[in-house]
Amino acid sequence: MSTLVIVESPTKARTIRNFLPSNYRVEASMGHVRDLPSSAEEIPEAVKGEKWAQLGVNVEADFEPLYVIPKDKKKIVKELKDALKDATELILATDEDREGESISWHLLQILKPKVPIKRMVFHEITREAIRDALTHCRDIDNRVVQAQETRRILDRLVGYTLSPLLWKKIAWGLSAGRVQSVAVRLLVCRERERRAFRQGSYWDLKATLTPPNPPLGKGGASDNTPLGKGGASDNTPLGKGGASDNTPLGKGGQGGAFEAKLVTVANVKVANGSDFDENTGGIIAGRRVLLLNEEQARALLSRIQNKPWTVTNLEERPVTRKPSPPFTTSTLQQEANRKLRLGARETMRIAQSLYERGFITYMRTDSVHLSEQAITAARSCVQELYGSEYLSPQPRKYTTKSKGAQEAHEAIRPAGSTFRTPQQTGLDGVDFRLYDLIWKRTVASQMADARQTHVTLLTQVEDAGFRSSGKRIDFPGFLRAYVEGSDDPDAALEDQEVILPALKVGDKPVCKDLEAVGHETQPPARFTEASLVKMLESEGVGRPSTYASIIGTIVDRGYAKLITNALIPTFTAFAVTTLLETHFPDLVDTGFTSRMEQTLDEIATGEAKWLPYLDKFYRGETGLQTQVKEQESQIDAKVARTVVLENISAKVCIGKYGAYLEAEREEGPVKASIPQDLTPADLDPEQVEFLLKQKTEGPEQLGLHPETGEPIFVLIGSYGPYVQLGEITETNKKPKRSSLPKGTDKDNVTLEMAVSLLTLPRLLGTHPDTGAKVQAALGMYGPYVVHDQGKVGKDYRSIKVPDDVLTITLDRALELLAQPKAVRGSSKTATPLKELGAHPESGELLNVYDGRYGPYVKHGDINASLAKDESLENFTLQKALDLLAAKEAAGGGKSSKSKKSTKTTAAKSETAAKKTTTAKKTTAAKKTTTAAKSETAAKKTTAAKKTTTTATKKKTT
């Protein structure tokens, strides 16, 4: 007797094999084995002529989905069928969520087993959990399958109905999505707020005070501090480390200097940032506050300088803080982004790996519940590592408030009945750091409350009132293990403490320093991945398990750029959002999308019927199909491609090669490209005028080259500012150019700097081992040195501060070239499937890596997946360059049919760029034509971007 167990991934299969007897065979399905068709060539010949075939859903026959098996899954399906022939029992052990339930159901439909079938579920991969799951198998939950299928059909209807409309009206290759479009609108709305923001300025005073000098021998200010109130570590066991044990004088010690801030003048509140109206830059109407300018602040300072200070009030307020609940999918993504600077996709990739290797429980969950086993394990850790005084008096039990919480039945926590400390796991790198985060959060959830005392001290000098705020940690409790937003709890505890001297009302502190301080109000912060995830979850939009892929799609599609952890929407995002808000407001409304999510949850529980809901949503009087037919003729493509920004006289238009300005001048319309790094919120009238003037009057001349006498110009192109030697003429069509180093403002460029930049690439000398030349140059990703051996290849290294591309020597370059090459991004720890060689411009080593969705190549921030039918053996460096160029063009919101060459510098000419783009466009277009038999089919291919498939159609039972 033998049993076949099917899971999703090879890693999961390898781990589970260790926990099962030898008569169990564990195989992987590699994710979904069936899906809706994602290209025209996947549609079976029998239905290719049907109107609904491109949609993949027969809307005329009860929304029957057309399921097909992709080419790359046929071999896997055959292997599973062969394995089933020798089995006497089949166990479907996919993940315990909707996707996992759906995968099991699809396997059942394809394999058609004639042996007994069981559905095994578990939320952690440990010996005990797997053995226990074997004894508690169940049937497939068809209601959960139906909910997942309804969600998949709904997403297909939205994406495949709206995306073609965007191609026609704005730009080819764009996409719309049920949750994606709402998320993009949130980014755009925040950027609109930043544009509408008007800065306000205000002044106040800041004083540095010290306690009154005590008589000699009488002791410091802390002599009269009651026992147990003064030190944060009074009740902390020896060796456990109180928060203020090593705190320097003035922060944790009594008697040190402390700060006081002006809050009132003549009993009138002094204005601060919260008193300003963001839309006017002035004080909020009706608010009675005193707004000080610089002159008034300095006059007040002079008036009270050297006057006596008096303590007028002292208030101590005890505060108790409880630990946060254990992680859910959403909160893990948020904290990993804040603490570890990991993106949502990277967090989920690492968590998936930790789960499959048996380190943590299932990572897609909305629940904060901990099992009794987990609570016991966490409390044991607290007892052993921190002592009984740090243990909460009673076990803490958390419940999930969200109605829709359903993915798994427990929070994300370390796996097993005993928790391995991070040091005991043998993990390293980001695996260790993420496990450490999960371990700390879980253990802290069973720890005692933190007890703090907040202190407010009011002082008066003349008619000016000042406030000082302090915080004393009386007992750190759970903060000893976990402080949100900090990797080091001990350091965070110290940072949180602000100990004020033990003063009393009537005391006369001494003013050691008094200064006037100017402030400016700040615009609303852009969304980070963490704050966007938090917003989506709070609004009930989408499922937390899908947020990582949604944010990834937004960036991949060119709707946002991820810069220093901020998601910055592009001009394309503005155009698409405006079109959807104007013509399909419900689809980008968070309330409407949240209600859709609730209905999908109700389908999973049997409270709602899937077919009437889909029919009303798509074919009803106000259904999506009806709306698109009515609105398409009313949408003016020229208007749709135009982004209207207040205070900007020129129009911002979306073109084939990106966003550009268009303005009417006496000589006619003038167009100018907008640099790719210029965001909608930062485009101001001065920049607009500079870009247009550069087009009409020519570039700004910096001076003459000291050797050639040619003029040197400073210009701004699509890729940012650059310097140019000489003018473009018939005989000099490609004058020498060089980008400005990153962070250099064009207004700060001197003639000497420009001359030096134009010497790049600099020949430093020859390599002593090869005799080949060594150069220093400035590339797309910054300065670098290169060892150029011609046909043998080029070896590159980045130049980092304090080295300078303009002054680096041959000896230093040789030192850099002798160092091991670092691979960018997350691929640095991955083993490549194939090494292709160095990028001809940036010098970065290009490799093929094995990703979650198949092989891909990476260059800088760009990941490009190989075609599903691409042979790894025949995949060359040139193919990789073409693939990356196409992905970069599509990612910039441009047609993915047109492949734009990757540029070394911002300085490449617009003409050359267009020629290069056109040449590569032809190649890409041919590939697109081959892959799809009609323009519509090709467009569907882009919109779907899902797992490819080929084969069988099945109706849900």
Identify the helix (H) or strand (E) that includes residue 846.
Answer: strand 845-851
The DSSP line for 189-257 is HHHHHHHH----EEEEEEEEEEPPPPPTTS--TTTTPPTTTS-TTTTSPTTS--TTTTPPBTTTBTT--
What's at 415, amino acid-wise? A
Q: Which residue blocks in 305-461 are alpha helix, DSSP H?
A: 329-340, 344-356, 372-385, 429-444
The Cβ-side half-sphere exposure at 930, using a 13 Å CA radius, reads 8
Show the tokens assigned to 733. Answer: 């069509």
The DSSP line for 563-576 is ETTEEEE-HHHHHH
Task: Give yes or no for a contact between 110 and 29, defined as CB atoms under 8 angstroms apart.
Answer: no
Q: What is the 3-state secondary structure (H, E, C) of 618-645?
A: HHCCCCHHHHHHHHHCCCCHHHHCEECC
Compute, in degrees rounded to 10, the torsion defined by CA atoms 605, 608, 614, 620: -160
Task: Give yes or no for a contact between 208 and 513, defined as CB atoms under 8 angstroms apart.
Answer: yes
CA angle 453, 474, 254 (to 5 degrees): 80
Show the tokens assigned to 628. Answer: 């698109």
Task: Tell me whether the omega of the peptide bond preceding residue 855 falls within 30 degrees of 0, making it cis.
Answer: no
Task: Give yes or no for a contact between 130 and 19, defined as CB atoms under 8 angstroms apart.
Answer: yes
Task: Give yes or no for a contact between 52 and 59, defined as CB atoms under 8 angstroms apart.
Answer: yes
Residue (of 165, 161, 164) closest to 178 by Cα position: 161
Instruction: Provide the 8-state DSSP code for 270.
Output: B
Task: Give yes or no for a contact between 924 and 883, defined as CB atoms under 8 angstroms apart.
Answer: no
Show the tokens assigned to 775. Answer: 């150069």
Strand partners, 461: 464
What's at 105, amino acid-wise? W
3-state secondary structure of 451: strand
Catalytic residue of the set 67, 202, 362, 660: 362
The C-alpha atoms of residue 771 and residue 757 are separated, in whole angstroms, by 26
362 is catalytic: yes
Residue (of 759, 688, 776) closest to 723 by Cα position: 759
Task: Give yes or no for a contact between 5 and 25, defined as CB atoms under 8 angstroms apart.
Answer: yes
Task: Give yes or no for a contact between 407 and 545, defined as CB atoms under 8 angstroms apart.
Answer: yes
Residue (of 345, 533, 528, 361) closest to 438 by Cα position: 361
What is the sign, positive or negative, of the torsion defined by CA atoms of 407, 409, 411, 413? negative
The C-alpha atoms of residue 716 and residue 739 are separated, in whole angstroms, by 9
The C-alpha atoms of residue 63 and residue 51 are separated, in whole angstroms, by 13
Residue that is written with structure tokens 């987990």 in the block = 374
The C-alpha atoms of residue 579 and residue 593 are separated, in whole angstroms, by 17
What is the sign, positive or negative, of the torsion defined by CA atoms of 186, 188, 191, 196? negative
The C-alpha atoms of residue 65 and residue 155 are separated, in whole angstroms, by 12
- How far does Cα 586 stand from its chain's mean position? 26
Order the strands of the 651-655 sheet from edge to edge: 642-643, 651-655, 658-665, 668-673
> Counting every residue, how long is the chain?
957
Residue (of 815, 814, 712) closest to 755 by Cα position: 712
List CB contacts of 370: < 8 A, sequence separation 6 or more. Answer: 326, 378, 397, 398, 410, 411, 413, 442, 445
The C-alpha atoms of residue 481 and residue 443 are separated, in whole angstroms, by 8
Q: Which residues are tagged catalytic? A: 362
